[in-house]
Structures are given as structure tokens and as C-alpha cells.
Amino acid sequence: MMLAAEKIEFSYPRADVLKKISFALSEGDCLAILGPNGAGKSTILKCLNKILVPQKGVVYINGTDTSSIDNRMLAQTVGYIAQRQEHSRKTVFDVVLLGRKPYIKWDVTSKDIALVEEILQAFGLDDYAMRYTDELSGGELQKVMIARALAQQPKILLMDEPTSSLDLKNQLEVICTVKEVVQKKGVSAVVTMHDLNLALRFANKYMLLKEGQVFAYGGPEIITERAIKEVYDVDVAFVEYEGVPVVVPL
């Protein structure tokens, strides 16, 4: 397995957040972590990336306990996009180039430059290359940060609500680009999302979280009217459009 979590638990000083979270992903898998606010979705990503250290359980990358992987090697393997981004007085090109930092020994190479240019073009950001990130909208900045993570050429991609600040067109553009990378490069992705319909188009594995515990885990078959009612306390119905299931709140 490319990425696996085995009964990880995490608590903040005044609250138990995660309780016995387990899953396993192979190359090309995309796991959508779904659940209401406060369910622990972002905390899972931080535990996978060693930003937080689980009090119990183990995270494995290619069968190796992440606690024994140094930060440079981890950065060459795992790309992480946080939910909130900070603006800085750097150009878009330089920010995406920072994704190459784990590989740079002495200086930037022509390969690094070419890769950044390729990624900027894939995200429709080539015209923004020399603009400063503190001049961008929230949605534009989010695309830049996703591009930076992909510049790391990670084998595992962790994304915390990557489409939350994007309009409909850019949501689809980003999701389709990431899905293409996952499928063509054999990347494993873990994405937290609120949009169930976008998740059903993007992922092949799903985890429904309720109060820090796994309510259900598996393929699309776990996303049912009953499960959504139990997790979100919302009544929904499913309709199908051109073979794609659509969740409709009632």
C-alpha cells in the first residue's frame, strides 16, 4: 500500500478529535474524507503529514512508519495543500518553484524551471507567472498553492478543501487536473471536501466521519441516503444524470 493509517488517534488538550482512524490506499486511489465541520477531517491530514503526531496508531508510507522518515524525504513524497493560505510578496512563478525545494541541492536547474512552466500552463496560470501572490484573489491563490504541491512531484497528495474558494469553472478545472495527475502518475490522494457531488465525480474511495470516528469507509456504495442522514442530519435523495449520481437535499 502507498499510504495507510492504522488506528490513529489524536486529542487536543480539551477534546478527543480522532478515534481509531484506519484506511489504506494504493497508487492511483483518491480518498475523499467527508463529514460536518468539526468532525476531524483537517486533523487527519495533519497527522498523515507529521504536522501533528498521533497519540496512538501508526501512519505508513510504502510500508515505512512515517516517524522514521526525515522531513526532506517526506517532502519529496507528500504534497500538502492547507485549507487557508497566506499571501506573500512573491511572484506566482517563485511560489510554485518553491515546490522544487526538497530536490534542490545547490541551485535551480533547467529541469526545475521547465517543470514549473509546465504546471503553470496546466492550471492556466502562465499569464500570472510574474504577478505577486498578494495581488491574487483567494481562488487564484488556491490554484497557485495546488500547483506548488504538484511541483514537488509527490507520490501522495493531501488536500484540505482544495475547491472551497473556487468558482464553479475553476472547481472543475482543478479537480480534473488533479484527477488526471492521480491517474497518469499513479499518485495517491486524500482530499477533504464538503461538496458531496464533486466528491462523487472525483474520488474512488470515501470515508464518512462522525464525531472523530469512521462512520463508513469504502467505495461509492457507502454514500447512501441513510448514511448522509446519520452523518449530516439532512434528508437527501439520489438522482442520476448521464450515469453520474447526484445528491439532492430535500
> Between 3.40.50.300, 1.10.3720.10, 3.40.50.720, 3.40.30.10, what CATH number should domain 3-85+154-249 receive?
3.40.50.300
Contact between residue 90 and residue 135 where contact means Cβ atoms under 8 Å apart: no
The percentage of residues in the chain with a pLDDT greater than 90, rounded to a whole number, is: 57
- Residue 146, C-alpha cell as written in the block: 495546488
Give the whole-angstrom CA distance, residue 92 versus residue 151: 13
87-122 pLDDT per residue, tens: 678 899 999 999 998 888 888 889 999 999 999 998
Contact between residue 244 and residue 172 where contact means Cβ atoms under 8 Å apart: no
Give the whole-angstrom CA distance, residue 192 versus residue 83: 9
pLDDT number for residue 86: 67
3-state secondary structure of 167: coil
pLDDT number for residue 88: 72
Question: β-strand 205-210 against 30-34: which pairing, if any?
Answer: parallel
Angle between the 110-122 and 138-151 helix axes, to the nearest 10 degrees?
140
193-211 pLDDT per residue, tens: 999 999 998 899 999 999 9
pTM of the model: 0.90
Residue given cell 439532512 in the structure block:
234
Q: Give residues with Cβ within 8 angstroms of 130, minimum separation 6.
A: 91, 92, 93
Amino acid at 183: Q
Is the per-residue pLDDT at 139 higher than 90? no
pLDDT number for residue 122: 85
pLDDT number for residue 85: 65
Give the whole-angstrom CA distance, residue 235 versus residue 225: 7
The percentage of residues in the chain with a pLDDT greater than 70, rounded to a whole number, is: 98
pLDDT number for residue 60: 95
- Residue 196, C-alpha cell as written in the block: 458531496
pLDDT number for residue 87: 63
- Residue 225, C-alpha cell as written in the block: 441516503
30-75 pLDDT per residue, tens: 999 999 998 999 999 999 999 999 999 999 999 999 999 988 889 8
User: Which pLDDT band, with edges at 50, 70 and 90, does 178 fall under?
Assistant: confident
- Residue 219, C-alpha cell as written in the block: 467505495
